[in-house]
Amino acid sequence: MNKYAVLYSEKIKEYKLEHVLTADRYQNFMDLYQEKLGSRKDFEIIVPDSATNDDLKLIHTEEYIQRIEQMRSLDPYDTPLSNGLVRAARLLAGAGKLAGELVCSGQYRKAFVVGGGVQHANRNQEKGFGVFSDIGICAENLKLKFGFNKILIVDTDAHAGEGLYEIFAGDPKVLLISIHQDPETLYPGKGFIHEIGSDEGVGYSVNIPLPPKSGDRVYKLVLEKIVVPLAEEFHPQIILMVDGSDPHYTDRLTRMGLTLRGIRMIGQIISAQAEKLCDGKLVDFIGSGYSSDSRIIPMGWLASISGVSGVDLAVTEPDPVPTEFKSDHGLEETQKIIELIRKQLAYYWKCFS
Ligand SMILES: [Zn+2]
């Protein structure tokens, strides 16, 4: 039987995260999780420990860790450090590390990190309410502990993962593909198609900016034309997904057009690649979502679990999807973006030449 680990600690609810990271998101998700998956024997909740300083040092500098512990914010307007935020960051970092180990040791087929997916923090700078890089620590630990040298990160969060880019731009062991809303129109203002890595890592970072309101069909096309061929050629030993609910059309911070069905579809396509290329090994970080409709955040996370695991959870849109998000909005522009990206990367990847 395939087993799935869901990494979650009740402690995260105690931390006051401020800003748009509403605390009720975790309880809302766990309520829905219990309703839909609570009785299944193939899903298991695993309570992670907080990351130790040695764990954090896999990515972050000692100086940075000390500054964070002293809560000396460099940019309090962007990321005001608080006891709650720092404790939560340590917990998520510990969860990310453990999730990778649970999958790679063969105990679980796949793992889901509830609340995870820190994209903006880099090695020595907190950003966008991200403090410690849970994904970075997960990847670096797998390199060290399991000798992995091919890790694929697929980041479909609506914001560009510029912190992850800064961490892995020079590293050819990590192929980072980020699909996000055009950074001309959204925080953090980075993630353009010319950002393709540096030094030895040139060609191992792929930024795919999409026009606002891009919906399910646009994402499907990008996955088919860029992500799948790259994954097949790279042939990863594990796939890490940065996922969540913020590309949903109801999100109030972003302006993408995915439906819950689209979020599920992304999980299905990436999971099929994991099955084909790396014995199913996949860790899914599900944490984003700022919808004005509080039902959407947990439903998006569950849609992702449904897609990745292949378990049909009947996650249906609570309200009818407006016509504009059923159209092919942005499809033509995206086709041009895809061609540009394929041309730019043709020198590094046979699948595009
Ligand atoms: Zn986001």
- 10-residue stretch averages of pLDDT, the chain, 353 residues long: 93 70 83 96 98 98 96 89 90 98 97 96 92 98 98 98 97 98 97 98 98 97 98 98 96 96 98 98 96 93 98 92 89 97 98 96
What is residue 29's predicted lDDT score, i.e. its pLDDT?
A: 95
Taking the centre of ligand 1 as the mean of its atom positions, its distance from the CA of residue 190, in whole angstroms, is 13
Taking the centre of ligand 1 as the mean of its atom positions, its distance from the CA of residue 107, in whole angstroms, is 30
What is residue 8's predicted lDDT score, i.e. its pLDDT?
A: 97
Domain containing residue 317: 4-352
Instruction: State the CB neighbour count (10 A cutoff) for residue 350.
Output: 8
Residues with CB under 5 A from ligand 1 (ion): 157-159, 246, 288
* β-bridge mates for residue 21, sequence order: none
Taking the centre of ligand 1 as the mean of its atom positions, its distance from the CA of residue 118, in whole angstroms, is 9
* β-bridge mates for residue 282, sequence order: 110, 239
What is residue 18's predicted lDDT score, i.e. its pLDDT?
A: 59
What is residue 76's predicted lDDT score, i.e. its pLDDT?
A: 87
What is residue 23's predicted lDDT score, i.e. its pLDDT?
A: 67
What CATH number is attached to the domain comprising 339? Answer: 3.40.800.20
What is residue 19's predicted lDDT score, i.e. its pLDDT?
A: 60
Number of domains in the chain: 1
Taking the centre of ligand 1 as the mean of its atom positions, its distance from the CA of residue 1, in whole angstroms, is 33
Torsion, Cα 330 182 164 349, to 10 degrees, reads: 50
The set of residues, in sequence order, having a beta carbon less than 8 Å from that of 53 and lying 6+ positions away, is 62, 65
